[in-house]
Structure 1
Amino acid sequence: MAEHVKLFHCAWPYALKGLVSTTVTVLLFFSLFVFAALLNWMDIPIIRGTPFGQAIFTSISSGVHHERIEYPLNCSEHVVDLTCSDNYPSMFEPEESNTEACPDYFRWIHEDLKQWNSSGITKDMIERGIPSADNRLVIINGSAYVEKYKPSYQTRDVFTIWGILQLLRLYPGKVPDLDLLFYTGDNTVIMKRDYNGPNAASTPPPLFHYCGEAAALDIVFPDWTFWGWAEVNIMPWEQMLRAIKKGRERIKWEDREPYAFWKGNPYVAADRVDFLKCNLSDKNDWNVRLYKQDWNKEVAEGFNHSRLEDQCTHRYKVYIEGATWSVSEKYIMACDSVTLMVKPIYYDFFSRSMVPMQHFWPISRENKCRDIKFAVEWGNNRTHEAQAIGRAGSKYTEEMLSMRNVYDYMFHLLNEYSKLLKFKPMIPPNARRVCSETMACSNKDLWKEFMVQSMVKSPSDKLPCTLPPPYDLQAIQASLDARERIAKQVEKWETEYFEKN
């Protein structure tokens, strides 16, 4: 759940002159107390900050008054030489010592790293992984250095690195020294089959990536869109989520179109092309309304027909993978519509702990059209139950994917990874230092705007959440068995329904 701070910014409009009676003084301080108490209810996420250069924060419950200075982006001194500012705090000094437990999906961090528990991670492993990587990130004493090996698609690498820089600003001095490789493409890269069995050549190199699958060893990391996808005008996650929440309020769930909606580029995957046959035709109505997304046309016309906040118009929305996983998942689930999830092969960092029929409705890959038709019929005949699934999915997205949780996931993943290193990270000869100034001040237009919007302006006032222990094998298998059992139950309902109709 997104963390909040209490903002108390008071300025005296004039100096009190002369003697002030005791009664007036008491009334004045009573008024200030009431004002502060009212502000205590304001919803101001700590990550977002305020548009002002400085802010004074107070904790009414503790009675302690703390001043916190914000450090907004200042390009005036750095726009020419692109140097890093030295005025940001280098140490993390939280005001709160109590910590909350991290969400359950953080347990998968241990699972993603367990391949290297016994061997550790050597410098040789890093070197062997370079051909698979787009870039290398090294953090030394809280400063970040990047060595680029190959171009990424659009600005995936730029906004991924930007997100890591914001983590360093949120917890200054707390992220340990580390050396890692990152791949920004779609397909998984480090495959288990290449490192299993008696003929396996060596221990697999660790490679950070946006998605994983059962057959791969890629280390899953939050994708770049949490800080914005400028090429398609998708705002940073906090701003985008607020827009979607406002957009979904325009039409009540029961008044929305009683069909399943999907809009996207179908030509990135054969499974999506196959999905087109489910659209309304003269012969069939599978209760699906599909719309092809022409991004070139949208770019030319100013994205007038691709705004995500305008797409909460149907009771049901379909999630189907693209080339691999799709960043669309969180936006689809945020709509309060029932997410009809075509069985995914790939997973991102948060989806493995979602539960079918609680957070989404499972759809098979082989019988997509028939499954969706039944899901819609079922939901339209049981509107309260269907609406509850939609709301639970949205709640999961809003609370589990607060930017606080995203940053804490990043922190714990990098921290656990650093514990496995068997060597002291050193700055590569061809790496360059990057910071908020070198990245944002050199960018332009929407790129810079999104960076400013998603910038962490002050260190956190509290510790990261507490990382839960790993799952045991029995728990993981029980989860997989439960998913399969639920899917079979839905299939049984579907068979019975079509036999009667």
Structure 2
Amino acid sequence: MKRKYENKFHFNVSTLGQFTRHYWRQSKTNAARTTAFIFFSIFLILAVLVFAGGIDNFYFPGVYSHNSTLTITTKKAPKRAEFQLICAKGNETQVCPTTYPISHHNPIINPSHSSSPKCPSYFRWIHEDLRPWQETGITRDMVDRARRTAHFRLVVVNGKAYIEKYRQAIQTRDIFTIWGILQLLRLYPGRLPDFELMFDCDDRPVVRSEDFHGPNDGPPPLFRYCGDDSSLDIVFPDWSFWGWAETNIRPWSIVLEDIKEGNKKTKWKDRIPYAYWRGNPHVTPTRKDLLSCNSSQESDWNTRLYIQDWDEQIKQGFKDSNVGDQCTHRYKIYIEGWAWSVSEKYILACDSMNLYIKSQFYDFFIRGMLPLHHYWPIRDNSKCTSLKFAVDWANNHTNLAEAIGKAGSKFIQEDVKMEYVYDYMFHLLNEYAKLLKFKPSIKPLGAEGTLMEVCSETMACSSNGISNRFMRESMVKYPSHSLPCTLPPYDPHVLADFFEKKANLTRQVEIWEDEYWHKSN
């Protein structure tokens, strides 16, 4: 007996056979008979193509048999269980629903066990970020010592999340970071082991590697949005992937589609042939220094630089802040702020060749990108001359410049799409949990200084305005039907080769630049 979600399509071939036989007999020429044969063949091919998704029975004894029947069965895919946002009504207390699956053994949400795709290359830095604890593991004392600067403690036990907040974060960084982790738990229910961590939502890393030397002097594991070469902070995707409410920048999955559409509006070679940057120059001296490179009557550095006044943008309703409308120049400048800048992914997603001013800080994905392939490196100690050379070179090598711009854009659009952002979070937290030398637990709820359970309902239902809209836009509605991508193994030789290649390519650009200015003088 067929299952209830199967549909049968019965096609009586004898009717078509009779029609074709009659037309064949009436035809006076070979061309007419050929037409009849072609008509019959095409009809059969189309029928099979349309319904061949689930052929259970294909009975075709002969086109001239009066009882011949073509039986094709199509099967509907099992319907995925959608996560509904269940908000309390009236004076009811908002609680986390008990309907969330916390196990992946449910056949409705059990993903396919077929081989998963290989993760993008930058995932290998997960091993590097966790390397300080590979030999010693992570003790509860180490985690507790990270509280000194942390904004919150996160504990996940049996697929449920609990938060202990310590201090107020900048804007809504902590709120959307927690929201993002909750969406990860909805995407891969029951697949993460129990873990406990501390998260610092400020910009600059604080766990200095020089402060920890001996094998028993383990550093505190502290999660944050960026790192540098002298720190041990664990790099995690920033809050803006789920929306930056204060600047009206929507969740990354939506913004990325806006940028893709923006790329289509102006062909690369029709774009303005200058280097473009718009941002807040007051957060760091290096950005103020960049403004000195603005083209004027006295000097032309091939740049178009603009100050972004966020207070004014708020008054005007952010009418000039849509990042999807800022892919109008051939070249776009990235420069870090007080630390790394959230603007990085938005700039790189344009097809414009990215002029990447040398940075001290890195986020989780930039470590997988290469100069002269994904971006053009710019010196930080001589920005103006470096920018002018880059634009002159690019305008004289437009095909190569366009290729670099599109390679960088492709990397962001394909390797940093939300599916991989979630997979990066999954693997980072999964590998981190393996290092814990203690069993994460929750204290009695409700007492002062203890953990409180959080879920999508406790966050989204109590929010309003832009925050509520962004949460609903970025909410995971279905558990994944597939496994996370496959994490590449740790190989120090691969990393060493990557660092060497990156340094050599940067050095090559600097040699070209020096030769350019030597000839100009």
For the superposition of Structure 1 and Structure 2, which TM-score range results when normalised by the shorter chain?
0.7 to 0.9
Residue identity opposite 1:302 in structure 2: G
Query: Which residue of structure 1 lines up, in the alignment, with residue 502 of structure 2?
Result: 483
Deviations 1:168-214 (A, max 9, x none): 00110111100000000001111111112x6x993111000100111
Size of the aligned set, in residue pairs, is 457
1:460 aligns with 2:472: no
Decide whether aligned partners of structure 1 residues 249 and 35 sit closer, same or farther in structure 2, where only a CA change above 3 A counts.
farther
Give the Å deviation of 1:230: 0.9
Give the Å deviation of 1:265: 0.3
Give the Å deviation of 1:33: 7.3
Residue identity opposite 2:93 in structure 1: D
TM-score (normalizing by structure 1): 0.87
Decide whether aligned partners of structure 1 residues 301 and 114 sit closer, same or farther in structure 2, where only a CA change above 3 A counts.
same
Query: In the aligned structure 1, how far is the partner of 2:495 from the partner of 2:118?
Result: 20
Residue identity opposite 1:382 in structure 2: H
Give the Å deviation of 1:65: 2.6
1:73 aligns with 2:85: yes
Query: In the aligned structure 1, how far is the partner of 2:143 from the partner of 2:393?
Result: 51
Query: Which residue of structure 2 lines up, in the alignment, with residue 47 of structure 1?
Result: none
Query: Which residue of structure 2 lines up, in the alignment, with residue 471 of structure 1?
Result: 491
Residue identity opposite 2:287 in structure 1: R
Deviations 1:380-417 (A, max 9, x none): 11111000000000000011111111111101100000
1:437 aligns with 2:457: yes
Decide whether aligned partners of structure 1 residues 96 and 78 sit closer, same or farther in structure 2, where only a CA change above 3 A counts.
farther
Query: Which residue of structure 1 lines up, in the alignment, with residue 379 of structure 2?
Result: 364
Query: Which residue of structure 1 lines up, in the alignment, with residue 252 of structure 2?
Result: 237
Following superposition of structure 1 onto structure 2, how do residues 341-352 of structure 1 map, counting pairs within 5 Å? Answer: 341-352=356-367
Following superposition of structure 1 onto structure 2, how do residues 234-383 of structure 1 map, counting pairs within 5 Å? Answer: 234-383=249-398
Query: In the aligned structure 1, how far is the partner of 2:89 from the partner of 2:319?
Result: 37
SS of corresponding position for 2:181: helix
Q: 1:88 aligns with which of 83, 100, 105?
A: 100
Query: In the aligned structure 1, how far is the partner of 2:442 from the partner of 2:79?
Result: 36
Contact 1:342–1:364, Cα closer than 8 Å, also in 2: yes
Query: Which residue of structure 1 lines up, in the alignment, with residue 152 of structure 2?
Result: 135
Deviations 1:443-482 (A, max 9, x none): 001111111111111110011111111131x332332222
SS of corresponding position for 1:188: coil
Contact 2:152–2:167, Cα closer than 8 Å, also in 1: yes
Give the Å deviation of 1:99: 1.3
Give the Å deviation of 1:344: 1.1
Query: In the aligned structure 2, how far is the partner of 1:486 from the partner of 1:79?
Result: 63
Contact 1:69–1:458, Cα closer than 8 Å, also in 2: yes
Residue identity opposite 1:90 in structure 2: I
1:34 aligns with 2:34: no
Residue identity opposite 1:481 in structure 2: E
Residue identity opposite 1:259 in structure 2: Y
Deviations 1:255-280 (A, max 9, x none): 11100000000110111111110001
Query: Which residue of structure 2 lines up, in the alignment, with residue 44 of structure 1?
Result: none
Q: 1:204 aligns with which of 215, 219, 240?
A: 219
Decide whether aligned partners of structure 1 residues 203 and 303 sit closer, same or farther in structure 2, where only a CA change above 3 A counts.
same
Residue identity opposite 1:187 in structure 2: R
Residue identity opposite 1:445 in structure 2: G
TM-score (normalizing by structure 2): 0.83
Contact 1:233–1:303, Cα closer than 8 Å, also in 2: yes
Contact 1:78–1:441, Cα closer than 8 Å, also in 2: no
Q: 1:425 aligns with which of 415, 419, 440?
A: 440
Q: Larger radius of gyration, structure 1 or 2?
A: 2
Gaps of 5+ in 1: 1-9, 38-61
Residue identity opposite 1:346 in structure 2: F
Contact 2:88–2:94, Cα closer than 8 Å, also in 1: no
* Bigger shift: residues 485-494 or 293-302: 485-494
Deviations 1:113-138 (A, max 9, x none): 01011111111111111112110000
Query: In the aligned structure 2, how far is the partner of 1:114 from the partner of 1:277?
Result: 41
Deviations 1:113-164 (A, max 9, x none): 0101111111111111111211000000000000000100000000001010
RMSD across aligned positions (CA): 2.5
Decide whether aligned partners of structure 1 residues 32 and 236 sit closer, same or farther in structure 2, where only a CA change above 3 A counts.
farther
Q: 1:219 aligns with which of 206, 215, 234?
A: 234
Contact 1:79–1:442, Cα closer than 8 Å, also in 2: no
Query: Which residue of structure 2 lines up, in the alignment, with residue 117 of structure 1?
Result: 134
Query: In the aligned structure 2, how far is the partner of 1:370 from the partner of 1:228?
Result: 36
Give the Å deviation of 1:24: 12
Give the Å deviation of 1:485: 1.5
Give the Å deviation of 1:82: 1.3
Query: Which residue of structure 2 lines up, in the alignment, with residue 174 of structure 1?
Result: 191
Decide whether aligned partners of structure 1 residues 371 and 82 sit closer, same or farther in structure 2, where only a CA change above 3 A counts.
same
Contact 1:108–1:471, Cα closer than 8 Å, also in 2: no
Give the Å deviation of 1:76: 4.9
Following superposition of structure 1 onto structure 2, how do residues 141-156 of structure 1 map, counting pairs within 5 Å? Answer: 141-156=158-173
Give the Å deviation of 1:244: 0.9
Give the Å deviation of 1:64: 6.9
* Bigger shift: residues 283-292 or 80-89: 80-89
Query: Which residue of structure 2 lines up, in the alignment, with residue 107 of structure 1?
Result: 124
Decide whether aligned partners of structure 1 residues 470 and 282 sit closer, same or farther in structure 2, where only a CA change above 3 A counts.
same
SS of corresponding position for 2:78: strand
* Bigger shift: residues 419-428 or 174-183: 419-428
* Bigger shift: residues 483-492 or 455-464: 483-492
Query: In the aligned structure 1, how far is the partner of 2:364 from the partner of 2:349?
Result: 17
* Bigger shift: residues 257-266 or 463-472: 463-472
Residue identity opposite 1:87 in structure 2: T
SS of corresponding position for 1:138: strand
SS of corresponding position for 1:144: strand
SS of corresponding position for 1:173: coil
Query: Which residue of structure 1 lines up, in the alignment, with residue 412 of structure 2?
Result: 397
Query: In the aligned structure 1, how far is the partner of 2:184 from the partner of 2:15?
Result: 44
Query: Which residue of structure 2 lines up, in the alignment, with residue 184 of structure 1?
Result: 201
Contact 1:78–1:84, Cα closer than 8 Å, also in 2: no
Higher relative contact order (CA 8 A, sep 6+): 1
SS of corresponding position for 1:241: helix
* Bigger shift: residues 84-93 or 98-107: 84-93
Gaps of 5+ in 2: 17-42, 54-73, 105-109, 445-449
Decide whether aligned partners of structure 1 residues 292 and 428 sit closer, same or farther in structure 2, where only a CA change above 3 A counts.
farther
Decide whether aligned partners of structure 1 residues 79 and 304 sit closer, same or farther in structure 2, where only a CA change above 3 A counts.
farther
